[in-house]
Structure 1
Amino acid sequence: MRNLLSIIGARKAARIHNAVEKDLKVHAKKTRADIKILLLGSADSGKSATLKQMRLAHKDNFNPQEIESYRQLVFNSIIRGAVMLVDALLIMQLQLSPKNEWFAETLRNINDLRDGEVYPEQLLQPLLDFWGDPSVQEGWSRASEVALPEKYITVVHILVRFFVHTSQDIIRCQAQTTGITETVFKLRGQQLHIIDVGNQRSERRKWIHCFQSVTNILFLVSLSGYDQCLFEDPNANQMEDAMAIWTSICNSEYFRSTSMVNFP
């Protein structure tokens, strides 16, 4: 009887061992199949735009809720970009025409678009007239002097298609990334995790160690930043800031065995 119990116990232990071994192999295979990429970049480097382009390339189309959100962002970005231009003109001591001077004041009182709210058609022609003002054109040509974010102003070109937006419009329009977002793609049987971290300038040393297990780091740099200052710090150059971030990442003890790609 004792021998029988020993045999049964040994068989049970063997089954448990085999089950654990099988589970470990499945987990190891899954771990090898997962690729984690940390997406980093300097100010206005196009991180969000790159992520959207990757989604479209992998046929991960925007859902109706996202499209509605970006539809609002297109309009809100146009208005905010115009207001920022007005403020920049004051710094540059450029004078708007009387008609556009009046419209510039009304811009500050335009509310953000809400869910389901249509674009206000009555704003189309005044916005086009505002964009065509010689002072506005000169101010835009000198945008780098006052750290005018390109991500807001490029949407002015959407005005000629005020009531129709495309995937490219969604890519151009960017909201400030806050917190951490993770996007997952399937690539040749592997899970590709793209991790985007917002607000990178604040307390980077306190959170960077959380990503030491990533497979790769994709660091984006905007080449147009060579003569532009930072929006949050007019005395700092965008390109120099990008190089400082890149250097700190390369020298970080947490990424000594991590592959890195610098993508301009």
Structure 2
Amino acid sequence: MSVIIQSQPQYPPRPHSVVWPPAPIETHEQKLRRLAQQREAFRVSQAIDRELAQERALLANKAPQFSLLLLGQAESGKSTTLKAFKSHFTPKAFASELDHWTAVIMLNLLRSVHMILDAMARQDALAFHGSEVEPHLTVTTYIRQLREILLPLFTVEDTLHLRICPDNQPASPTVPSDPTPPGVWTTHRSVSPEVLVHSAQYYKMGPDSAHFQPLTATMKQVIKESHAAIRKYALHMKALWKNETVQAILKAQKISMRELSGFFLDDIDRIAAESYSPSEDDVLKARLKTHGAMEHRITIETGVGSRNKDWLIIDVGGARKQRATWAPFFQHVTAIIFLFPLSTFDQQLEEDSKVNRMEDNMALWREICSNTLLTKVQFILFLNKTDILKAKIKSGTQVNYHITTYKGPNEYQEVVKYVRSNCLKIYKDCSPRGRRNPCSVHLTSAIDRKSMSHVLAQVREHIMNNQLANTKIL
């Protein structure tokens, strides 16, 4: 069982205010009525106090044995790690959620198609405004025809976007001010910002709730109609994605679709199938950006015995402006899993294009390691997205071109060794006095269920043993 808790229940104002103070002048009957109302108000107040005390006692009895805080940059893999944790330790509860991800997966797919059309529009604009464009990077008439055919999917994307996140409006069409010749699309709506869902919008809160709000009849109809549109345009989406000119333009613009979260362009046929239902792997890959901290109370289903089954996992936003909200969680956590994506060596921060993401990761790791509030907390480091790092090195991307302090060969094992040794040195040099727990390091690809199951089993054992040792039970 897994539940999500955001806040305590809100109670109405206590009824004293409706009978106090008394009116300046009152009759005997009014006084008796007022005193009766006060007695009733006192009775209700005591009942509320008893109810609050009972709830506090209930929460205390249900307090998780372990609390785990997931930290890292935006898109470092925190939410995916949480889903992997649920998949491994609460398989029944996780399986019950799968259908709720259908809309998100379809939106991820349509957004990828829109991003490709965005890239084609930029390329067309370059040619129109006189920039020299190589013949193999020229948008063809066929690509423009595909774009016109796929235009209705923009509406489908908007509908899903608004249903999942009503407060996050899609982008408006952009119309170039200069005249454009026939054949070049004259109105192009840039891809909408990534769907940003506040924790309270998509999830149902409360200590006895399921993970997600129940799918309404309206939402089920939207999913049905969106799926029908995907089936209708599946061949055209595949043709766009597989087109050699499209691939060349994406490469020229340094857009690697397969590295992006929520990539489903290689699964169009499967998703378009009438019988499609999300798999566990689909849910791990699905991208749903959340804002604010979410506390997931999990009762582990796997294993034997009743001890050590209740865990609290806290997932927080990783964007720079959200990191200030992390501190309140530091004092009451058992362990921290810090997600360090290895694939970011050639990327810049979305908030500041002058900052390399891997360098920002190192700085963030140093800041967390040196925090005195975390002196007694266990540190677990996930060097994540190993699969993407391998693919980049295999394609010939030079790590030392982007990370000038790296002097080793352009080989996966050596790059991992470099990052690992630097992270452990920071942990050793920056740890406050009194920290005794060693830092546990794991190489991970959070979307790989098999390898993550092995890693998470080790992590659970590590946390439990360290906690027992710290409390001098061992």
Please, what TM-score do these two structures have when normalized by structure 2?
0.44
Aligned to 1:98: 141
Is the CA contact 2:67–2:333 (under 8 Å) kept in the aligned structure 1?
Answer: yes
Structure 2 residue identity aligned to 1:40: L
Aligned to 2:336: 217
Question: 1:103, CA displacement in angstroms?
Answer: 3.5
Aligned to 1:18: none
Specify which of 35, 38, 62 is matched with residue 69 of structure 2: 38
Aligned to 2:134: none
Aligned to 2:93: 61
Aligned to 1:248: 367
Secondary structure, aligned partner of 2:332: coil
Is the CA contact 1:147–1:231 (under 8 Å) kept in the aligned structure 2?
Answer: no
Unaligned runs of 5+ in 1: 1-23
Is the CA contact 2:72–2:318 (under 8 Å) kept in the aligned structure 1?
Answer: no
Matches within 5 A, 1:186-225: 186-187=299-300, 189-190=307-308, 191-225=310-344
Is the CA contact 1:77–1:155 (under 8 Å) kept in the aligned structure 2?
Answer: yes
> Distance between the aligned counterparts of 1:41 and 1:142, measured in 2?
30
Secondary structure, aligned partner of 1:110: helix
1:126 equivalent in alignment to 2:236: yes
Aligned to 1:75: 106
Residues 88/211 of structure 1: CA separation in 2 closer, same or farther (3 Å cut): farther
Matched positions, count: 234
Question: 1:196, CA displacement in angstroms?
Answer: 0.3
> Distance between the aligned counterparts of 2:360 and 2:74, measured in 1?
8
Structure 1 residue identity aligned to 2:348: C
Structure 2 residue identity aligned to 1:47: K
Specify which of 220, 238, 244 is matched with residue 357 of structure 2: 238
Structure 2 residue identity aligned to 1:219: F
Alignment deviations for residues 11-34 of structure 1 (CA, whole Å, 9 cap, x no partner): xxxxxxxxxxxxx9xx7x976x61
Question: 1:60, CA displacement in angstroms?
Answer: 4.1
Alignment deviations for residues 41-97 of structure 1 (CA, whole Å, 9 cap, x no partner): 223222111111111111243365x43431011111111122223334555664433
Question: 1:141, CA displacement in angstroms?
Answer: 4.4
Residues 73/206 of structure 1: CA separation in 2 closer, same or farther (3 Å cut): closer
> Distance between the aligned counterparts of 1:211 and 1:200, measured in 2?
18
Secondary structure, aligned partner of 2:321: coil
> Distance between the aligned counterparts of 1:240 and 1:160, measured in 2?
39
Aligned to 1:174: 287
Aligned to 1:50: 81
Unaligned runs of 5+ in 2: 1-56, 127-136, 164-218, 384-474
Residues 227/139 of structure 1: CA separation in 2 closer, same or farther (3 Å cut): farther
Is the CA contact 1:182–1:194 (under 8 Å) kept in the aligned structure 2?
Answer: yes
Percent identity, aligned pairs only, is: 27
Secondary structure, aligned partner of 2:264: helix
Secondary structure, aligned partner of 1:44: coil
Secondary structure, aligned partner of 1:205: helix
Residues 38/98 of structure 1: CA separation in 2 closer, same or farther (3 Å cut): same
Residues 233/129 of structure 1: CA separation in 2 closer, same or farther (3 Å cut): farther
Aligned to 1:137: 247
Tell me which of the two structures has the higher relative contact order, counting C-alpha pairs closer than 8 angstroms and 6 or more residues apart: 1
Structure 2 residue identity aligned to 1:54: F
> Distance between the aligned counterparts of 1:230 and 1:135, measured in 2?
29
Alignment deviations for residues 98-149 of structure 1 (CA, whole Å, 9 cap, x no partner): 2332443615443344622321221111100110112332355467x46866
Is the CA contact 1:39–1:47 (under 8 Å) kept in the aligned structure 2?
Answer: yes
Aligned to 1:157: 266
Q: Which shows bigger deviation, 96-105 or 33-42? A: 96-105
Question: 1:198, CA displacement in angstroms?
Answer: 1.7
State which structure, 1 or 2, has the greater radius of gyration over its C-alpha atoms. 2
Residues 193/233 of structure 1: CA separation in 2 closer, same or farther (3 Å cut): same
Specify which of 283, 296, 299 is matched with residue 183 of structure 1: 296
Structure 2 residue identity aligned to 1:218: I
Please, what TM-score do these two structures have when normalized by structure 1?
0.76
> Distance between the aligned counterparts of 1:147 and 1:208, measured in 2?
35
Aligned to 2:463: none
> Distance between the aligned counterparts of 1:261 and 1:89, measured in 2?
42
Specify which of 109, 118, 137 is matched with residue 87 of structure 1: 118
Structure 2 residue identity aligned to 1:260: F
Secondary structure, aligned partner of 2:287: coil
